[in-house]
Amino acid sequence: MSDLSEAGQEFDSDVVIVGAGPAGLMLANLLGGYGRTVTVLEARDDLIDFPRGVGLDDESFRTIQAVGLVDTVRPHTNPHHIMRLVNGAGKVILVNDPKTDEFGWERKHGFIQPEVDRALYEGLARFDGVRVLFGHEVDDVVEDADAVTAIARTTGGEVRIRARYLVGCEGGKSPTRKRLGTTFEGESPATRWLVVDVNNDPLGTPNVFLGADPKRPYVSIGLPHAVRRWEFMLRDGETEEQVTDPAFVDALLRDHVPDPSSLDFIRRRVFTHHGRVAGSFRKGRQMIAGDAAHLMPVWMGQGWNSGVRDATNLAWKLATVLRGQAADTLLDTYTAERKEHAQAMVDLSLTFGKFIKITNPIVAAGRDAASTVLNLFPGVKSYFADMRFKPMPRYTRGVLADPNTIASGVAAPTLTRRLVPVRSANTDVSPVGVQFIQPRVMSADAVDARLDDVIGPWWSVIVWGNSPEDVLPERSLAQLRELGARLVAIVPETQRPWLECAAGPDVLVLGDHTGRVKTWFDDRPTPMVFLRPDRFVAGACLAQDGPATLDAILRAMSFRQAASTSTPTPVETPAAAKLARA
């Protein structure tokens, strides 16, 4: 799998990934889809085979879609996973039941992590340039001006892998993070929990119950494949040997199942929540992702998802630098964009945990009473039900162009220009720095298809109601061609035949048959959108601001002119294959 660099130096891979957990496996799939060579080094002899994470969100499912593994992952999920917070009497005091699907998938899923991780691993077989080496424990890394060399210990001796970049995805004790010399600040609460997983779910009820019981807070989760998880908060003085004893576990479960002794146990394990975020995710040619970069308390189910967000953000940037399209200063935007949201999710999870694990009966009664009162207000109730308390990723620094000033590398969260279209819009919230929606669309080759499957895996410029070729000058179109961006025009489905005849052959014309795209653009005075490969909006503007906005985006990503213009080959997904046959 050797690849010669432009300087004539031999590399074993473009990227070495240390750790075959979810972040590492997803990053390898994304890089493989972008045509890069990857070596994954895993110290274990196989993937971890016991349940860990249990929550998968819509953002992660969009990335699973991007790597073409929906059909292999979907059977291991429970879509639309509802969470109910109950008090010590079993009364529901809060419901989290989001029904939005703006990113193309259900907001929350229960899942079996070992099965999904294995689907990610087996998906790597599609890429000739990607390999996973088990039983390879990285002892050291040597970095020079041109490369990084991972030195791994195996049963057969020492192995050296030379690559352009290394990404450490080896968990919370990450040696890569320690080599970076960065901080890892946060909390490690003294509270311990016992996790109990069983087969042949003895309850059979779906969804999630968080038991805010002051006597002993607990969690009960219905999972795919008839797996049931319980988690019980442990008291000071209860030892690990004591709480994992079958008799002790049976006593904990007597309030939950009629006959605990007959359960088919998968595991009984003690764990402690951690909430920490690294000070930087990159130094030189080495980066960190997933638990190596941040440890998430379990309450919001964001550990697995946060690692996937890291991979989604980092993969296209590595691919861009490796293709020679940008200076490697582009990789500095990885920390700038991801750290703030990772910290926000850690803070929210810690706060939510403190709300649940109250053990003072008087304080717990006050909490329950306050929750009952708040539920009387529809706005407050829907705030929790629709999961609007969860901070969505919003990048204010990075590969962005400010929609007000068209400044490069930054984006204010609100629209403040005094133009009439801006002042009369339905919202002043800027679409720059957040994910674009994924509605279903129509095209000459697609019927009711998800947007991402139609526009492809790389950059896109999307224009409402017109062709990009008609509103952008040739200089901007040439820049977009060098970037490898797809030109996309979206119109009401009634107008699609007209524009398909009027637009040039390089423009993808899509029909908005559901009206959701029209609604999005109607609410925002930004009919031109520059969409990054990770589906975040890099710039959004009026048509006349398009050239300046594109210039600002290219400066923010340290774009190099006259680089390779070949776009990544799309991963062959069932949806893509259907479109190709149409």
Summarize pLDDT for 173-217 with one digit per residue, the tens.
Answer: 999 999 999 999 887 766 788 999 999 999 988 888 888 888 888
| Residue-averaged pLDDT of the chain | 88
Q: CA 31 to CA 37: how far, in whole Å?
A: 7
Residue 296: pLDDT over 70: yes
What per-residue string of b and e applies to 326-342 under the rule 16 or more CB within 10 Å gives b?
Answer: bebebbbbbbbbbbbbb
Query: pLDDT value at position 4?
Result: 32
Cα distances from 306 to residues 56, 61, 241, 281, 529, in angstroms, run 10, 12, 32, 13, 25
Q: Which residue has the tokens 């890089």?
A: 31
Percent of the chain with pLDDT over 90: 67
CATH 3.50.50.60 spans which residues of the chain? 3-79+110-182+275-335
Q: Which residue has the tokens 């489905």?
A: 493
401-419 pLDDT, tens digit each = 999 999 999 999 999 988 8
φ, ψ of residue 105 in degrees (nearest 5): -140, 165
User: Which is nearest to 537 in space by CA: 441, 338, 395, 422?
Assistant: 395
Residue 84: pLDDT over 90: no
Q: CA 537 to CA 34: how far, in whole Å?
A: 20
Q: CA 385 to CA 286: how far, in whole Å?
A: 40
User: Which is nearest to 356 in space by CA: 220, 189, 214?
Assistant: 214
The letter for the amino acid at 439 is P
Q: CA 46 to CA 133: how far, in whole Å?
A: 10
pLDDT tier, 81 (very low <50, low <70, confident <90, very high otherwise): confident
The letter for the amino acid at 141 is V
φ, ψ of residue 100 in degrees (nearest 5): -75, 150
Query: pLDDT value at position 417?
Result: 87
Residue 504 buriedness (CB in 10 A; 0-12 / 13-18 / 19+): exposed
Query: pLDDT value at position 571?
Result: 58
220-250 pLDDT, tens digit each = 999 999 999 999 989 888 999 999 999 999 9
Query: pLDDT value at position 567?
Result: 61
- Mean pLDDT is lowest, of 74-88, 379-393, 424-438, for 379-393
Residue 291: pLDDT over 80: yes
332-388 pLDDT, tens digit each = 999 999 999 888 888 777 676 666 666 667 766 666 666 665 555 555 455 444 445
Q: CA 220 to CA 90: how far, in whole Å?
A: 12
Count other C-beta atoms under 10 Å from residue 554's C-beta: 23
User: Which is nearest to 484 in space by CA: 524, 451, 457, 504?
Assistant: 457
Q: CA 174 to CA 567: how far, in whole Å?
A: 34
pLDDT tier, 579 (very low <50, low <70, confident <90, very high otherwise): very low
User: Which is nearest to 22 in space by CA: 291, 392, 285?
Assistant: 291
CATH 3.40.30.10 spans which residues of the chain? 397-581
Higher model confidence: residue 101 or residue 94? 101
Query: pLDDT value at position 32?
Result: 97
> Cβ contacts of residue 580 below 8 Å, gap of 6+?
none
Query: pLDDT value at position 420?
Result: 80
Count other C-beta atoms under 10 Å from residue 129's C-beta: 16
463-484 pLDDT, tens digit each = 999 999 999 999 999 999 999 9
**Across 304-308, 502-506, 523-527, 532-536, which has the greatest mean pLDDT?**
532-536
Positive/negative CA dihedral, 129, 134, 136, 137: positive
Judge: domain 3-79+110-182+275-335, CATH 3.50.50.60.
yes
Q: Ramachandran region of residue 171, left (φ > 0), alpha (ψ -120 to 50) or beta?
A: left
- Mean pLDDT is lowest, of 14-23, 318-327, 340-349, for 340-349
- How many CA atoms within 13 Å lie on the side-chain side of 11? 23
φ, ψ of residue 535 in degrees (nearest 5): 75, 15
Mean pLDDT of 92-107: 86
Asked if residue 268 lies in contact with residue 249, where contact means CB atoms within 8 angstroms, the answer is yes
Percent of the chain with pLDDT over 70: 87
Query: pLDDT value at position 466?
Result: 93
CATH 3.30.70 spans which residues of the chain? 192-272
User: Which is nearest to 540 in space by CA: 431, 436, 452?
Assistant: 431
pLDDT tier, 568 (very low <50, low <70, confident <90, very high otherwise): low
Determine the topology of domain 397-581 in CATH: Glutaredoxin (3.40.30)
Q: Is 516 helix (H, G, I), strand (E, B) or coil?
A: helix
Mean pLDDT of 150-172: 94
Asked if residue 155 lies in contact with residue 205, where contact means CB atoms within 8 angstroms, the answer is no
To 5 degrees, how large is the angle CA 567–CA 572–CA 577? 110
242-271 pLDDT, tens digit each = 999 999 999 999 999 999 989 999 989 888
Query: pLDDT value at position 380?
Result: 47
To 5 degrees, how large is the angle CA 254–CA 259–CA 265? 90
* CA 354 to chain CA centroid, nearest Å: 25
Q: CA 135 to CA 265: how far, in whole Å?
A: 28
pTM: 0.90
Higher model confidence: residue 45 or residue 351? 45
- How many CA atoms within 13 Å lie on the side-chain side of 423? 4
Asked if residue 29 lies in contact with residue 51, where contact means CB atoms within 8 angstroms, the answer is no
Query: pLDDT value at position 341?
Result: 87
Class at the top of the CATH hierarchy for domain 192-272: alpha beta
